[in-house]
């Protein structure tokens, strides 16, 4: 992978030429460099047009060939939707047809050594981009949040495997930072040709673990994580013989040939482009994520007491199964109720909400999502003391009265427990 451009006179066998052509087409479609332009001012329309054309071809192929699902569900935060699998089928079909035509129409070319070199460069930067992007978020403990009061009040058996794994990592900031540091190390090593083989080793190890987490905990990034692991291994293929001799056969292996140094002007340009690359695709997403991170929201100002509340009295014309059992007001602008009532956003048999407090009028506006423009309902509140809260108003055009009592609920999981000496199995 670090070697200089191979000789252009060596003739490749037909199968190797076909594999290169297939890999080039498939990886260019998957990596989709044109979509990177979406974050560059003024070039978003180009990326949008490319995405629209790809979407039309994927849906066309699905209707006539793939039949993954009658109506494809687009990518929506989950990368494993029916559209994601139809997209993979389209990439594979286009690569098979394109590689076959490419090899047949270009039979006189002895090899694609130069193209293979630049394909490795593209893959190397793509893996580095994702390793840095995910790694920096974890280093600042921004990707996985620690369990809040609403999560702690949710029975363990109600959690889905993905959320369970999310809390497992988010619970321990040192572990999340450690895993992020490993991803950042892989990304940094991949940015430099001399350390790219070591970076590919680290990336393959890191993304193997990520891939297994996604597969074993049903996290909907399976397709993408599998590709990141395979691409990390793909980067090692150029050094496969040298690595096999060294690690398996215990034989000496020559160092990779050096690439002739670039003139100093080109080296400055190269370093500048690397800095721009890191800024656009690693640091900028970190800033954007931190600005939109709900955990970074400033605490609500006002007299409302936050915490875990037990429902002492609930007067409303609703079935017993929908009555509130408890209410959590988080320190930010969110909370949840122990009720399967779909009036609020349901997750793990709790109704989640965002709220805004009007202390002047003593009202609380409840929304399903903080981005909603209108509340689902608004209740007046009274707070006789710091441990009691009374809500009055209308829900579904029905008058309600909810009396809450703050509980000093103790969750052991909320503690930072660590013991060098453990006298019993805890």
- 425: tokens are 């199995």
Domain boundary assignment for the chain: 1-111, 116-296, 307-412
What is the rounded distance in angstroms from the CA atom of residue 237 to the CA atom of residue 38? 31
Q: Are 377 and 394 in contact (CB under 8 A)?
A: yes
Whole-angstrom distance, CA of residue 44 vs CA of residue 34: 9
Per 3-state DSSP, the chain is made up of helix, strand and coil in percentages (nearest 5) of 50, 15, 35
Q: What are the tens digits of pLDDT across the range 3-62? A: 445 555 689 999 999 999 999 999 999 999 887 767 666 777 888 888 899 999 999 999
CB 324 within 8 A of CB 377: no
pLDDT for position 296: 47
* Cα 237-212-96 angle, rounded to 5 deg: 45
Q: H or E stretch including 75?
A: none
Which pLDDT score, from 0 to 100, does residue 299 have? 46
φ, ψ for residue 363, nearest 5 deg: -125, 150
Contact 165, 145 (CB under 8 A): no
In 3D, which of 331, 383, 375 has the Cα closest to residue 353?
375
Whether the Cβ atoms of residue 170 and residue 145 lie closer than 8 Å to each other: yes
Produce one character per residue of 368-401: b if its CB has 16 or more CB atoms within 10 Å, e if not.
beeeeeebbbbbebeeeeeeebbbebebeeeebe
Looking at the domain 307-412, which fold is it? Answer: Lipocalin (2.40.128)
| Residue listed under structure tokens 């990439």 | 91
Token pair recorded at residue 426: 């805890």
Render pLDDT for 45-88 as a digit per residue (tens, 0 to 9): 888 888 899 999 999 999 999 999 999 999 998 899 999 999 99
pLDDT, one tens digit per residue, over 289-319 is 666 554 444 444 456 788 999 999 999 988 8
Model pTM score: 0.86
Q: Are 254 and 212 in contact (CB under 8 A)?
A: no
Q: Alpha-carbon distance 177 to 183, whole Å?
A: 10
Please report which helix (H) or strand (E) contains residue 206, including its range: helix 196-216
Give the tokens for residue 219.
């996290």
User: Which parts of the chain sit beneath pLDDT 50?
Assistant: 2-4, 294-301
The reported pLDDT for the residue numbered 8 is: 57
H helices within 73-160, ranges in order? Answer: 82-105, 113-139, 149-152
């Amino acid at each position: 992978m670090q070697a200089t451009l191979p000789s252009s006179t060596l003739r490749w066998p037909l199968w190797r030429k076909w594999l290169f052509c297939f890999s080039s087409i498939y990886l260019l479609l998957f990596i989709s460099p044109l979509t990177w332009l979406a974050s560059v001012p003024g070039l978003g329309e180009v990326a949008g047009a490319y995405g629209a054309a790809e979407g039309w071809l994927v849906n066309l192929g699905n209707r006539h060939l793939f039949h993954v699902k009658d109506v494809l569900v687009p990518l929506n935060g989950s990368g494993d939707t029916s559209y994601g699998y139809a997209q993979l089928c389209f990439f594979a079909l286009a690569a098979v047809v394109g590689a076959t035509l490419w090899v047949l129409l270009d039979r006189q070319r002895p090899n694609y050594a130069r193209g293979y070199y630049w394909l490795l460069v593209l893959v190397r930067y793509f893996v580095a981009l994702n390793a840095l992007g995910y790694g920096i978020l974890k280093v600042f403990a921004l990707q996985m949040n620690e369990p809040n009061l609403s999560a702690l009040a949710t029975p363990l058996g109600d959690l889905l495997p993905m959320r369970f794994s999310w809390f497992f990592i988010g619970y321990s900031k040192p572990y999340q930072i450690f895993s992020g540091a490993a991803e950042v190390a892989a990304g940094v090593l991949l940015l430099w040709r001399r350390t790219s083989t070591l970076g590919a080793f680290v990336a393959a190890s890191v993304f193997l673990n990520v891939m297994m987490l996604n597969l074993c905990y049903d996290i909907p990034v399976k397709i993408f994580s599998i590709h990141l692991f395979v691409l990390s291994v793909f980067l090692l293929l150029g050094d496969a013989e040298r690595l096999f001799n060294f690690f398996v056969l215990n034989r000496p292996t020559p160092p990779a040939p050096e690439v002739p140094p670039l003139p100093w002007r080109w080296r400055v340009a190269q370093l500048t482009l690397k800095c721009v690359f890191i800024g656009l695709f690693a640091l900028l997403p970190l800033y954007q994520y931190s600005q939109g991170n709900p955990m970074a929201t400033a605490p609500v100002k006002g007299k409302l007491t936050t915490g875990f509340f037990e429902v002492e009295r609930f007067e409303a014309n609703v079935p017993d199964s929908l009555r509130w059992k408890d209410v959590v007001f988080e320190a930010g602008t969110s909370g949840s109720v122990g009720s399967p009532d779909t009036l609020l956003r349901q997750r793990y048999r709790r109704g989640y909400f965002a709220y805004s407090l009007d202390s002047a009028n003593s009202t609380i506006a409840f929304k399903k999502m903080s981005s909603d423009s209108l509340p689902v309902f608004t209740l007046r509140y009274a707070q006789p003391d710091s441990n009691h809260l009374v809500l009055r108003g209308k829900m579904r055009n029905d008058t309600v009265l909810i009396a809450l009592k703050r509980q000093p609920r103790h969750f052991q999981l909320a503690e930072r427990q660590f013991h060098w000496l453990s006298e019993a199995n805890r």
